[in-house]
Chain A
Amino acid sequence: MTDPIDSSAGLQRRTLLQGTAGILATGIAPFVHAQEKIVLRYLGTAVNQDKAIAEKFKADTGIEIQYVAVTTDDVTKRAVTAPNSFDLIDTEFFSLKKIVPTGNLKGIDTRKIKNADKITTLFTKGEVAGKAVGDQGTAPKKVIYLEGEKSKKFATAPTQFMSLIPTVYNADTLGIRPDLIKRPIGSWAELLNPEFKGKAAILNIPSIGIMDAAMVVEAKGIHKYADKGNMTKAEIDLTIKTLIEAKKAGQFRALWKDFNESVNLMASGEVVIQSMWSPAVTAVRTKGIACNFQPLKEGYRAWAAGFGLPATLSGKKLDGAYEFINWFLDGWAGAYLNRQGYYSAVLDTAKAKMEAYEWAYWMEGKPASQDIKSPNGDLLAKAGAVRDGGSYEQRMGGIACWNAVMDENEYMVRKWNEFVAA
């Protein structure tokens, strides 16, 4: 503070040194950062935009990440309508059906991605440990490859160009308050069980909420969908009808749209069972409130997010974006995300940056040999606890369907509004 000019010069020199070190570490052609500071505008949802990740990346490479946090829907909207307003997009695979046909994304050259061939087979082949998982909905393997760098079409077989480089993914299920329910929950059908009248909630993001509803419909044996992620009009009608009947009977306490809303509903006890996201469950737990991310016999609804590059990105910023992606897959970020209950796309590198007991708890489904803490230092699980859903293979192997955009999307949204209005 005494001499601001000196200290900022010192900072520059230091970040510069670290920058070069970072480049050498990633093993790609050295870029000179001396002339200008690179700032990458990172568009995505708040959930994935962790301050610690940006800080660590800046310390490692000198490149600054500027987070632009919007909702899932707005990420898509900006990608379609304002592709020049960001340098790096973090979006979900199901949004690609809307974004890629606009030509606003550039295929990512996998030859420039050091760990490209180590990306988990879940994305490249739709397999976990050699076993195929459910591919209903927009499974990443259907949309991950592009025909060329400037292509507006998805490739059916692996190519050199990826639409998104996967970053985090998980499989969602119901969250429950075991202390208030006091009995085992084993099926999606419980969401509409009248026993929880006025104490249930469902996601109010139509394209995801309707998939959760479809899991319930199948679990109750009302209907078997050919593809829950791509329903016919009649199937949409049926699913919404089931929801409306439940709503009229007073089943739902609230619908939620936002990560924090779901945490508050659960933590305050307004709701005891609801569709939920894994980090939201973690958030409830860090408040000291019992909450389970309940594995269910019908399986999980999976989602996956990844980094994409806008078509107009070029020069230094493009190099910076590649550097960020390479850095991200290099382990530190992966380990950080794994400790939050997500899964990282390249498992080997993340494993190298995690303690053996952490890896055993988070990825192998083994009882924790010592207390498990979140990256912020909050206690998540005491020694001896086992992760909900077990190991990576059990959890990701149990995928029933993927978040999706349906062909009948417009009709579905209209019917969903009918549900909200009923």
Chain B
Amino acid sequence: MSAPTASAHAPSPSVHAVKAWWQAAPFALVFLLFFLIPLALVAMVSLWNFNEYELIPAVTLRNYLSLFEGCSQLTDNGDLCVTLNTYLSTFKFCLLVWGITLLVGFSVAYFLAFHVRSPGMQTALFVLCTVPFWTSNVIRMISWVPLLGRNGLVNQMLTGLDLVDQPVEWLLFSNFSVVLAFVHLYTMFMIVPIFNSMMRIDRSLLEAASDAGASGWQTLWNVVVPLSRTGILIGSIFVITIVMGDFVTIGVMGGQQIASIGKIIQVQTSYLQFPLAAANAVILLAVVLMIIWGLTRLVDIRKEL
């Protein structure tokens, strides 16, 4: 900008560099202000001491130590310590939800991308998938309660048809209802990126596969799946990070009886135990980053995009 004459004809490399910096600056600033600085604050507070009503800025490892206190042995009830137990239960949900949303999301995306021929229909069906997102998360979740409850619609139907004598209890406030709600809420995050990468697949590849005598399954497994893996990976990252941090869904659908790391952090912040919550958050962040790092080892997103 400062040297328009130079840039008009033969821009020198230094002007290029300055321009690039200027272009990157707004986003870098946003990134710094709303991500890096808060993150650094969280990391800092996680090392602070505290009491009932104030934070004491003195570096201590107490918060991290108390998180893992008692983790070297089982508790009196034969459980793992809270932290490990909670991570285990969170991982369990993560894996289940990831598996199911992947399966459902992939099927829906496959149907949209390869079976629906007209682009108009494709758009219409795609919009249909987003309809549930027009209401709030919590409302979508809570609407399950009257359906699955002890005296809910499903149980009324089951007892009405004489399929069961007693109402089925595990439908609500159970692992089942939590997974169900997660799948209901987050399958969309799988569908969108997988659909996106499927639409980029060159259709002639499928014809070539068919010409070469590949069966439908072989085409799917050897052509479609490998070429959709960017979408699968991006979807997986969405689902995994959401489930790892969630406390609302697990709380509402699990009857507040199922632990999640997010829930523990929430309880701690509501009791003004910010340093403990910060330490928990730092560990959660590290765990999630490790998972994402592992996933990106499988697919090189930069190259694929």
**B269–chain A nearest beta-carbon distance, Å:** 7
* Least CB separation from A421: chain B residue: B259
Assembled-state Cα–Cα distance A201/B251 (Å): 14
**Contact present for B259 and A420 (CB under 8 Å):** yes
CB-CB under 8 A for A422 and B256, given A405-B52, A414-B66 = no
The interface bits of chain B over 47-82 (1 if a CB of A lies within 8 angstroms of the residue's CB, else 0) are 000001110000000000010000000011101011
Tell me if B245 counts as interface (CB < 8 A to partner A): no
Chain B residues closer than 8 Å to A101, beta-carbon distance = 52-54
Assembled-state Cα–Cα distance A362/B267 (Å): 36
Tell me if B150 counts as interface (CB < 8 A to partner A): yes
Tell me if B85 counts as interface (CB < 8 A to partner A): yes
Tell me if A417 counts as interface (CB < 8 A to partner B): yes
Tell me if A394 counts as interface (CB < 8 A to partner B): no
**A320–chain B nearest beta-carbon distance, Å:** 28
**Contact present for B173 and A253 (CB under 8 Å):** yes
Tell me if A270 counts as interface (CB < 8 A to partner B): yes
Chain A residues closer than 8 Å to B268, beta-carbon distance = 413
**Contact present for B272 and A77 (CB under 8 Å):** yes
**A373–chain B nearest beta-carbon distance, Å:** 28
Within 8 A of B (CB), among A339-382: none
Tell me if B118 counts as interface (CB < 8 A to partner A): no
Interface of B is mostly: loop
Tell me if A307 counts as interface (CB < 8 A to partner B): no
Chain B residues closer than 8 Å to A245, beta-carbon distance = 77
Assembled-state Cα–Cα distance A77/B269 (Å): 8
Chain B residues closer than 8 Å to A71, beta-carbon distance = 270
Tell me if A247 counts as interface (CB < 8 A to partner B): yes
Tell me if A188 counts as interface (CB < 8 A to partner B): no
Chain B residues closer than 8 Å to A113, beta-carbon distance = none
Chain B residues closer than 8 Å to A98, beta-carbon distance = 52-53, 272
Question: Contact check: which of A74, A76, A409, A420 meets B256 at CB < 8 Å?
Answer: A420
CB-CB under 8 A for A80 and B53, given A255-B256, A413-B273 = yes
**Contact present for B82 and A256 (CB under 8 Å):** no
Tell me if B257 counts as interface (CB < 8 A to partner A): yes
The interface bits of chain A over 221-262 (1 if a CB of B lies within 8 angstroms of the residue's CB, else 0) are 000000000000000000001001101100011111100000
Tell me if A186 counts as interface (CB < 8 A to partner B): no
**Contact present for A99 and B273 (CB under 8 Å):** no
**Contact present for A73 and B270 (CB under 8 Å):** yes
Chain B residues closer than 8 Å to A198, beta-carbon distance = 169
CB-CB under 8 A for A74 and B270, given A241-B77, A414-B82 = yes
Tell me if B132 counts as interface (CB < 8 A to partner A): no
Chain A residues closer than 8 Å to B86, beta-carbon distance = 417, 421
Tell me if B227 counts as interface (CB < 8 A to partner A): no
Tell me if A145 counts as interface (CB < 8 A to partner B): no
**Contact present for A421 and B256 (CB under 8 Å):** no
**Contact present for A420 and B263 (CB under 8 Å):** yes
**Contact present for A409 and B255 (CB under 8 Å):** no
Within 8 A of B (CB), among A77-104: 77, 80, 97-99, 101-102
Tell me if A264 counts as interface (CB < 8 A to partner B): yes
Chain B residues closer than 8 Å to A264, beta-carbon distance = 145
* Least CB separation from B80: chain A residue: A421
Assembled-state Cα–Cα distance A206/B264 (Å): 12
**Contact present for B257 and A252 (CB under 8 Å):** yes
The interface bits of chain A over 101-142 (1 if a CB of B lies within 8 angstroms of the residue's CB, else 0) are 110000000000000000000000000000000000000000
Tell me if A204 counts as interface (CB < 8 A to partner B): yes
* Least CB separation from A416: chain B residue: B267
Tell me if A30 counts as interface (CB < 8 A to partner B): no
Assembled-state Cα–Cα distance A253/B79 (Å): 21
Interface size class of B (residues with CB under 8 A): 35 or more
Tell me if A2 counts as interface (CB < 8 A to partner B): no
Chain A residues closer than 8 Å to B66, beta-carbon distance = 414
**Contact present for B52 and A409 (CB under 8 Å):** yes
Chain B residues closer than 8 Å to A256, beta-carbon distance = 256
Chain A residues closer than 8 Å to B267, beta-carbon distance = 206, 413, 416-417
**Contact present for A80 and B272 (CB under 8 Å):** yes
**Contact present for A418 and B150 (CB under 8 Å):** no
CB-CB under 8 A for A268 and B256, given A248-B77, A413-B267, A421-B85 = no
Assembled-state Cα–Cα distance A122/B151 (Å): 43
**Contact present for A241 and B150 (CB under 8 Å):** no
Tell me if B172 counts as interface (CB < 8 A to partner A): yes
**Contact present for B255 and A268 (CB under 8 Å):** no
**Contact present for A268 and B150 (CB under 8 Å):** yes
**Contact present for B272 and A255 (CB under 8 Å):** no
Within 8 A of A (CB), among B33-54: 52-54
**Contact present for A268 and B82 (CB under 8 Å):** no
Tell me if A6 counts as interface (CB < 8 A to partner B): no
**A31–chain B nearest beta-carbon distance, Å:** 34
Assembled-state Cα–Cα distance A409/B53 (Å): 12
**Contact present for B273 and A410 (CB under 8 Å):** yes
**Contact present for A421 and B89 (CB under 8 Å):** yes
**Contact present for B53 and A269 (CB under 8 Å):** no
Assembled-state Cα–Cα distance A254/B269 (Å): 22
**Contact present for A417 and B259 (CB under 8 Å):** yes
Assembled-state Cα–Cα distance A29/B171 (Å): 63
Question: Contact check: which of A73, A102, A422 meets B79 at CB < 8 Å?
Answer: A422
Chain B residues closer than 8 Å to A201, beta-carbon distance = 255
* Least CB separation from A74: chain B residue: B270
Tell me if B146 counts as interface (CB < 8 A to partner A): yes
**Contact present for B255 and A253 (CB under 8 Å):** yes
Tell me if B27 counts as interface (CB < 8 A to partner A): no
Assembled-state Cα–Cα distance A241/B76 (Å): 8
- Add 18 more A-B contacts to A74-B270, A418-B81, A421-B86 (CB < 8 A): A73-B271, A77-B269, A102-B53, A102-B54, A254-B255, A257-B251, A269-B151, A270-B149, A270-B172, A410-B273, A413-B271, A414-B82, A417-B86, A418-B82, A420-B258, A421-B82, A422-B77, A422-B85
Give me 14 A-to-B residue pairs in the complex whose CB atoms sit less than 8 angstroms apart, sorted by A's number.
Answer: A77-B272, A99-B53, A252-B255, A253-B173, A254-B255, A255-B256, A257-B251, A270-B150, A270-B172, A414-B66, A414-B82, A418-B81, A420-B263, A421-B82
